[in-house]
Amino acid sequence: MILLRCLGGPPGNQLAGTAGRISQMFYFLTLFIMAKGNMFQGMARGKVGDVVFSRLDGQQISRVRNRNPKNPRTNSQLYQRAIMATIMRAYSAGKTIFDHSFQLASVGAGNQRVFMSENAKLLRSLIATESKLPVNSATRGRVVAPGIASPVGFDGMVISKGTYPQSYFGVAPATFDEQGGDETYLTFSTPAITAGQTRAQYAAAHGLIANDYYTFVGFFVSNQILFTADEDDILNSSQSFEQFFFIRCRVKADFVNSTTVMTENDTLADIFEVDAATTVGTAPADVMAVKIGASFEAGTLGLYPGQGNERLIYAGIIRSRLDQDLRSNTELMRGQVYMNTGIAPYWLLEAWRRGTQKLGDSDLILEGGDF
């Protein structure tokens, strides 16, 4: 009877005798059937009276059912919704990487929790600071529009965490000189070759290990606008279509072990083999053609089709290891200071008040799995 009361109780509590006990039994069985799976074995899913059962990381969990949910639209609630929607859509778009890019976290739900937690705190901090600033498209924080499924990148998004240092590729952030108007884009670089240095010596000097992976990860931004909060400030109040990408580069064993003397004509293709990549907008051949010791802009990773020479891209590089749970600490970085994509903090409330308008054989991408 105590269990029945916890579950909401049968209609009318004036049950007595054998008939009452039978009624109670059938009532309990009815509730039990309403939940999918076996409750007593920890496999229940669904609603049972005022209790909702589900499973998380192999464990059965329960929560009280809210029969009268409300839909508050206070400013704080709208900020929270915008932040969480942005993080969730970014994770969903890049799930093929993000569901195993956090070292020691369990594949899937464990990685998702870390991704959501780390980036929600970061984006919340950016929004809190930048929402008070004059509107301009140099803001680092960006959010999605309500009802738009496309993701939005933002500067500093945590895309991997671990103890495996990534030091081979130098990363220089985008800059803009407000006085002179000079602009530099997000740039990657590699160490220069020393005269007379063999490939094996170069690899040893710069920590290149056979079967390590260096995976470029990020978002391309198209010129297709999906949402605009203010027609007079499209650059800061609009969301454009964004596409997740990755290019996985594997260090060649024959480079690491080679006694061949390096030359100024050696390229990244001599060090790496691109063995997996997304197909939309990526240009792995262009990256591999870059000479060792030279730098290249993030736009070399590929421009979204039809964008001309614009470098609207978010990118980062993750170092990982074949068939091992080793990851680098990596953040997403904006391709240029004035990205002109995603809802800037200044326009967040305006946009969200409107609501919806228009070792072995690892199968994980960062460890060598097929794509």
Both tokens of residue 101?
A: 């890019």
Percent of the chain with pLDDT over 90: 60
Select from 64, 90, 113 the last residue of a domain: 64
Q: Would you mind telling me the total number of residues written for the chain in this entry?
A: 371
Whether residue 70 is contained in a domain is answered as: no
- What pLDDT, on a 0 to 100 scale, did the predictor assign at position 17? 62
Domain count, the chain: 2
Do 268 and 352 share a domain, yes or no? Answer: yes
Do 125 and 253 share a domain, yes or no? Answer: yes
Range of the domain at 39: 2-64
Confidence class for position 160, pLDDT limits 50, 70, 90 = very high
Whether residue 262 is contained in a domain is answered as: yes
d(CA 141, CA 132): 12
Do 113 and 18 share a domain, yes or no? Answer: no
Whether residue 51 is contained in a domain is answered as: yes
Do 29 and 132 share a domain, yes or no? Answer: no
Give the tens place of pLDDT for each residue, 23-60. Answer: 666 555 555 545 555 655 566 666 766 677 676 666 67
Helix (H) or strand (E) holding 42: none
Do 14 and 81 share a domain, yes or no? Answer: no
d(CA 203, CA 179): 42
Do 229 and 265 share a domain, yes or no? Answer: yes
Give the tens place of pLDDT for each residue, 169-178. Answer: 999 999 999 8
Residue type, 296: F
Give the tens place of pLDDT for each residue, 111-154. Answer: 999 999 999 999 999 999 998 887 777 899 999 999 999 999 99
Distance of alpha carbon 351 from the chain centroid: 23
Whether residue 323 is contained in a domain is answered as: yes
d(CA 87, CA 143): 9
- What pLDDT, on a 0 to 100 scale, did the predictor assign at position 39? 58
Whether residue 265 is contained in a domain is answered as: yes
Do 321 and 182 share a domain, yes or no? Answer: yes
- Asked if 345 and 84 count as a contact pair (C-beta separation under 8 A), the reply is no
Do 53 and 97 share a domain, yes or no? Answer: no
Whether residue 257 is contained in a domain is answered as: yes
Confidence class for position 6, pLDDT limits 50, 70, 90 = very low
Do 29 and 93 share a domain, yes or no? Answer: no
Do 48 and 185 share a domain, yes or no? Answer: no
> Backbone phi, then psi, for 171, in 5-degree steps?
-130, 120
Whether residue 348 is contained in a domain is answered as: yes
Do 55 and 199 share a domain, yes or no? Answer: no
- What pLDDT, on a 0 to 100 scale, did the predictor assign at position 359? 46
- How close are the terminal C-alpha atoms of the chain, in Å? 54
Single out the residue of 219, 338, 342 nearest to residue 282, CA to CA: 219
Average pLDDT value for residue range 159-188:
94
Average pLDDT value for residue range 309-315:
73
- Asked if 81 and 348 count as a contact pair (C-beta separation under 8 A), the reply is no
Whether residue 69 is contained in a domain is answered as: no
Do 209 and 109 share a domain, yes or no? Answer: yes
